[in-house]
Structure 1
């Protein structure tokens, strides 16, 4: 993969699964001048041991930040911590990876309650919304810095310039629902990802004037705690594919929903 990702990159939900693998591979595909801000709910907890080890191995490349996307106060504190570190350089890439599926298995209607619906929606939709809102000044700053390098011209959007990547799901596709609903009803998860897709479309329109790209990416059915052991795709292959897709994104991809191989997914 050509080196088209870099600058200051923030990833949420990095203590395990796709988030942890994103940090691992981002270290490999970016330069020594680039920095990864790895966020998770409990940086000092037992569940973040692998992340701490990775950060200790790359102290000049990785900064771990405490962030619970379910709480705006935590988002505000994380934004302040990031701002103190990136300064006038801004934030080049926000990867909203943190997400939950409250119920295990197929999560049918009979097992889904209001509280579970709202908890999933809070983490999967409201959290990414608030994080992008709080981080917008830093994303705009990064886009402006790139504009200055181009002599004040707008230039093209890209993940190296300034971008938001929302990790979505094929299960959020309304058109595809009849094909896969019987396998995994997952009311809360499906509806939250459909909402995340709409948020991505809104962000693409809203932030276009600032030259900030916004794209939703489906990582595939992956062998993680959420995806289960039956999943056909490893986290390594999924992340490698997603990073390749991210490195190729441009103006035409803003507001789209793609899979980990770059294929378009219908809304």
Structure 2
């Protein structure tokens, strides 16, 4: 029985790790087959150590893969590895991203964040789309998905809405990269609309992780959610339970954010 093959970039920590964990617990992939999860990690050894100790159930499996989305060679190597081991990819979850507000110069910050959040996401998607996403397994037609992990802070309409919960937060460079990711999502959806690939923008919300230099203990006290919550919500997207919300920014609580 062919597994459902999923790759999670930035899968070694935070939200990405919780997405991996949620999928490894699941027995409800879109066609009922077990998952094999590729846990993307820039540091392969750390990823391997982590994967070796993750709990699995229902025949699901996991392996680490070296992946740095800012490196064309790393992305090419990851594609070759997945192709050699699995022959295809069924779902690509683009979780790797950054927000570094410690960079004083705005232009430098913008360049660094764009290189990861937009260019890196485009690079890995194009690489896997061309070689794997459109390849159907011999035994049955599987659902294919691309999920871009984004943020409601990239919503242009929400930026102009004083009632938006993050209206007072600055983060101009980060907002701009996530707004660009929204357009990238729309372009991927258009490009793949006749190929049967479902493209989603998923907002995990404000999460208690170390992302952007945050302190999970402090942010949780201020209202940030446990990272397991978006992990489970993203699993619902992978398994087709949020398909009626494509073409918008999907949130963990059912809210719909405009572009």
Deviation at 1:72, TM superposition (A): 1.2
2:35 matched to which residue of 1?
34
Question: Does the 8 Å contact 2:151/2:178 carry over to 1?
Answer: yes
User: 1:218 touches 1:257 (CA, 8 Å); kept in 2?
Assistant: yes
Match of 1:74 in 2: 74
Alignment of 1:169-184 (within 5 A): 169-178=151-160, 179=162, 183-184=168-169
Determine if contact 1:242/1:261 at 8 Å carries over to the other structure. no
State the partner residue of 1:22. Answer: 19
Query: Given that residues 25 and 240 in structure 1 are in contact (C-alpha distance below 8 angstroms), is that contact kept between their aligned partners in structure 2?
Result: yes
Q: Given the alignment, which residue of 90, 103, 113 partners 1:120?
A: 113
Note closer, same or farther for the CA distance 1:220–1:62 as it changes in structure 2 (3 Å cut). same
Say which of 107, 113, 125 aligns to 1:132. 125
Closer, same or farther in 2 for the Cα pair 1:123/1:77, shift >3 Å? same
Partner of 1:200: 185
Give 2:206's aligned residue. Answer: 221
Q: Does residue 249 in structure 1 map to residue 242 in structure 2?
A: yes
Any idea what the Cα deviations from partners look like across 1:86-123, whole Å, max 9, x if unmatched? 12xx211100000001225xx8xxx3432221111111
Give the whole-Å Cα distance in 2 for the aligned partners of 1:71 and 1:164.
20
Deviation per CA, 1:10-69: give whole Å up to 9, x if none: 000011101111111110014773200110100214x87544422899997111000001
The size of the alignment, in residue pairs, is 241
Alignment counterpart, residue 9 of structure 2, candidates 8, 12, 29: 12
TM-score of the pair, normalised by structure 1: 0.81
Contact kept, 8 Å, 1:205 with 1:255, in 2: the verdict is no
Which consecutive unaligned segments of at least 5 residues does structure 2 have? Answer: none
Shift of 1:254: 3.6
Q: Is the 1:222–1:228 Cα contact (8 Å) retained in structure 2?
A: no
Instruction: Report Cα offsets for 1:185-218 as digits up to 9, x if no partner.
Output: 1111110100011100000000011110111010
Q: What is the rounded CA distance, in whole Å, between the counterparts of 1:181 and 1:43 in structure 2?
A: 35
Asked whether the equivalents of residues 204 and 254 of structure 1 are also in contact (C-alpha less than 8 Å), the reply is: no
How has the CA–CA distance of structure 1 residues 116 and 51 changed in structure 2, closer, same or farther, with 3 Å as cutoff?
A: farther
Q: Give, in whole Å, the separation in 2 of the partners of 1:49 and 1:219.
A: 26
